[in-house]
Amino acid sequence: MTIRTAVAADKPGWVDLWQGYLTFYGSAIGPEVTETTWSRITDPIVPVFTRLAIVGDKPVGFATCILHPRTWAIEPACYLEDLFVDETMRGRGIGRRLIDDLIAMGQRDGWTNLYWHTNSGNETARRLYDRYDKADDFVRYRLPLKG
Ligand SMILES: CC(C)(COP(=O)(O)OP(=O)(O)OC[C@H]1O[C@@H](n2cnc3c(N)ncnc32)[C@H](O)[C@@H]1OP(=O)(O)O)[C@@H](O)C(=O)NCCC(=O)NCCS
């Protein structure tokens, strides 16, 4: 397995995985959101990027991140927004390798930290995440602002 940054030619493979991710979350976002997200991922000006796990020549998992400036540091922080591994490929360490890859990128590029959220009941994901650190005690407030 290799891990690399997604490029334009990866679109069909990424869309298949993305649909699996949306199904996992029971989300019905419109195709225009998928299109916009993909164009952001592949636009070098936008600080959104995807690392793909590739087996053979097929993408089997992804980590999508937003690198953003901070007020409390000069260096950026990295928000891991989406992590997904194809259902048939789980439990083989691919999720772990995707996170390890981001840690290595961040150490190389000087990010202050890598962070993410998950549902408290997502036990499979939390089993993986708990190997890195304990969850902190912040709670999330999230106000819907759109009609
Ligand atoms: C969370 C997720 C990315 C983990 O990917 P993964 O490649 O299976 O992760 P890993 O193999 O590196 O490790 C995951 C842990 O769960 C176990 N695991 C995950 N899926 C498994 C499966 N189908 N069968 C057996 N074990 C499984 C692994 O053994 C490992 O636990 P361990 O280290 O204590 O043995 C993947 O389960 C997934 O895509 N889930 C749906 C989307 C999701 O929840 N994303 C995270 C949202 S924040």
Share of the chain above pLDDT 90, in %: 98
86 phi and psi angles, rounded to 5 deg: -50, 135
- Number of residues that this document lists for the chain: 147
Q: Which residues line ligand 1 (CB under 6 A)?
A: 24, 83-85, 90-96, 118, 122, 124-125, 127-128
CA distance 139 to 126: 16
Q: Give me the number of domains the chain comprises.
A: 1
* Residue span of the structural domain in which 105 resides: 2-129
CB atoms within 10 A of CB 63: 26
CATH number at residue 36: 3.40.630.30
147 within some domain: no
Q: What is the 3-state secondary structure (H, E, C) of 39-71?
A: HHHCCCCCCEEEEEEEECCEEEEEEEEEEECCC
pLDDT for 55: 97
CA-closest candidate to residue 41, choices 33, 96, 117:
33
CA of 125 from ligand 1 middle (Å) equals: 6
CA 115 distance to own-chain centroid? 10
Domain assignment present for 53:
yes
pLDDT digit string (tens) for 16-25?
Answer: 999 999 999 9
From 58-62, 74-78, 94-98, 143-147, the region with the lowest mean pLDDT: 143-147
* 147 pLDDT tier (thresholds 50, 70, 90): confident
Flag whether 146 is in a domain.
no
Give the pLDDT score at 113: 98
How high is the pLDDT of residue 104? Answer: 98
Nearest CA to ligand 1 atom 35: 91
- Local confidence band at 28 (pLDDT 50, 70, 90 cut-offs): confident
Q: Is residue 137 part of a domain?
A: no
Question: Residue 6 has what pLDDT?
Answer: 98
d(CA 55, CA 97): 13
Residue 64 lies in a domain: yes
**Any domain includes 135:** no
Task: Compute the average pLDDT of residues 22-45.
Answer: 96
Q: Report the pLDDT value the prediction gives residue 74, as an integer from 0 to 100.
A: 98
